[in-house]
């Protein structure tokens, strides 16, 4: 910006910085609140005034992973003493860990849903980015008749409202037995991300000078060798950025997962809200589940920060 000159301009500048800081804090407040609630004892999660300073606990995470039931009477002292530390935390909260007949700890639905989310998001990302990179190269380097129409067609599949696509897909999946399976979701997410991956990768590949490959071709590489040995390494950053975007989209997706899965292949996004049933929900457990679920995305966002703009605008803005 132009050098700050007069006193009033300087004051204005300071005011703008202060406003930016306030806005940033406001935007981060809900995320802070999720994080802090995930480490609170249950009785401090819903107090008025809100509890800001407290001794962090790990008990919400123990509860998140275990199946529990209400304790009617306090556990016998010898049972309590014999219990491992994490089980005592559950006792302290007035609940007990449910064990099978053979005494094995029963897990809650959460770890399973988290694994499903990982399987579905990673597999669909690999497929979408793989196919997308090939296709983007095809569009970038070769003349294709009706290229603009084809690219519009590819993009338009991304814009379809999930519920609109879900109705026929549900019927078709039911006919072939893909409802509530990992592959059912993987196919949907691959199709959904494929258009995005083609558009984004085309932008990245367009930026790699054609001369690199041409030089390789003159040196006796075949076109395929040039693609794998010259273009792919050059496009590595773009591929990584595209993959992270596809992963986040698949990881966060809710509507398809809600409609197409109910138990076996259910991912975390439809599962976490379903925990808030009737009665008073334990918000510390929900916060713990939310926190773990958001963590990978938060990390990826930081890794991706330089490519975010480009990804979010479908490559309209390069930077």
Q: Which of residues 32-91 bind another protein (CB under 8 A)?
A: 33-34, 37, 46-50
DSSP 99: B
In the complex with another protein, which residue's Cβ is closer, 72 or 143? 143
Site for another protein in 119-148 (CB under 8 A): 131-132, 134-135, 137-139, 141-146
Q: Which secondary structure element, helix H or strand E, spans residue 71, and what is its range? A: none
What distance in Å separates the CA atoms of residue 181 and residue 132, rounded to the nearest whole number? 24
Could you give the dihedral angle defined by the CA atoms of residues 47, 48, 54 and 60, in that order, rounded to the nearest 10 degrees?
20
Nearer to another protein, 118 or 155 (CB): 155
Beta bridge partners of 70: 95
Q: For the CA atoms of the chain, what is the radius of gyration?
A: 26
Close Cβ partners of 5 (under 8 Å, ≥ 6 residues apart): none
Question: With b meaning 16 or more CB within 10 Å and e meaning fewer, what string describes 208-233?
Answer: beeeebeebeeeebeeeebbeebbee
110, 65 Cβ separation under 8 angstroms: yes
Phi and psi at residue 275, to the nearest 5°: -70, -25
Q: Which residues between 6 and 25 bind another protein (CB under 8 A)?
A: 13, 16-17, 19-20, 23-24
Q: Least distance (Å) from another protein to the CB of residue 97?
A: 25
**Closest separation in Å from C-beta 92 to another protein:** 22
Restricting to residues 194-233, name those near another protein by CB under 8 A.
194-195, 198, 214, 217-218, 220-227
Q: Is the peptide bond before 315 cis (omega within 30 degrees of 0)?
A: no
CB of residue 64 to another protein, shortest distance in Å: 13
Give the one residue of 283, 285, 288, 307 binding another protein; rule: CB under 8 A: 283
172 touches another protein by CB under 8 A: yes
- Contacts to another protein from residues 89-118, by CB under 8 A: none
Burial 144-179 (b: 16+ CB within 10 A, else e): eeeeeeebeebeeebeeebeebbeebbeebeeeebb
Q: Which residue from 169, 178, 243, 265 is in contact with another protein, where contact means CB under 8 A? A: 169
Q: Toward another protein, which CB reaches closer, 79 or 312?
A: 312
Looking at 106, 156, 237, 262, which residue binds another protein (CB under 8 A)?
Answer: 156
Q: What's phi and psi for 317, nearest 5 deg?
A: -120, 125
Taking the least distance from each CB to another protein, the nearer of 32 and 80 is 32
- Closest CB 131 distance from another protein, rounded Å: 5
Q: Mark the segment that binds another protein (CB under 8 A) among 64-72, 84-92, 98-106, 293-301.
A: 293-301
Site residues for another protein, window 228-267 (CB under 8 A)? Answer: 248, 251-252, 254-255, 259
Among 77, 101, 168, 277, indicate the residue that binds another protein (CB under 8 A). 168
Q: Which two tokens stand for residue 134?
A: 């090939």
CB of 204 to another protein, least distance (A): 14
Looking at the Cβ atoms of 66 and 284, the one nearer to another protein is 284
Give me the least distance between CB of 39 and another protein, in Å please.
Answer: 15
CA pair distance 258, 229, nearest whole angstrom: 42
Q: Total residues at the site for another protein (CB under 8 A)?
A: 109
Q: Which residues contact 211 (CB under 8 A, 6 or more apart)?
A: none
Please state the separation of Cα 213 from the chain's center in Å.
36
Q: Rounded to the nearest whole angstrom, what is the least distance from the CB of residue 41 to another protein in the complex?
A: 15
């Amino acid at each position: 910006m132009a050098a700050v000159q007069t006193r009033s301009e300087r004051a204005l500048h300071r005011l703008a910085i202060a406003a930016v800081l306030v806005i940033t804090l406001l935007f981060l407040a809900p995320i802070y609140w999720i994080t802090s609630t995930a480490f609170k004892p249950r009785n401090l999660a819903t107090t008025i005034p809100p509890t800001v300073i407290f001794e962090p606990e790990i008990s919400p995470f123990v509860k998140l992973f275990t199946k529990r039931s209400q304790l009617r009477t306090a556990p016998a002292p010898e049972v309590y003493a014999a219990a491992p530390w994490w089980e005592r935390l559950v006792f302290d909260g007035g609940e007990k860990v449910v064990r099978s007949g053979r005494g094995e700890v029963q897990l809650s639905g959460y770890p399973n849903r988290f694994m499903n989310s990982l399987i579905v998001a990673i597999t669909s990302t690999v497929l979408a980015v793989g196919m997308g990179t090939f296709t983007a190269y095809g569009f970038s380097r070769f003349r294709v008749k009706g290229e603009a129409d084809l690219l519009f067609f590819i993009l338009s599949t991304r814009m379809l409202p999930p519920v609109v696509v879900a109705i026929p897909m549900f019927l078709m999946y039911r006919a072939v037995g893909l409802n509530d399976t990992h592959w059912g979701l993987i196919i949907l997410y691959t199709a959904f991300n494929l258009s995005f991956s083609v558009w984004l990768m085309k932008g990245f590949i367009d930026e790699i000078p054609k001369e690199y490959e041409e030089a390789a071709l003159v040196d006796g590489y075949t076109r395929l060798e040039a693609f794998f040995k010259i273009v792919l390494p050059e496009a590595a950053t773009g591929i990584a950025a595209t993959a992270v975007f596809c992963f986040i989209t698949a990881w966060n997706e809710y509507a398809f997962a809600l409609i197409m899965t109910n138990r076996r292949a259910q991912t975390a996004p439809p599962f976490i809200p379903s925990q808030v049933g009737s009665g008073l929900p334990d918000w510390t457990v929900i916060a713990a589940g939310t926190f773990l679920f958001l963590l990978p995305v938060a990390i990826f966002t930081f890794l991706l920060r330089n490519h975010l703009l480009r990804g979010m605008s479908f490559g309209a803005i390069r930077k």
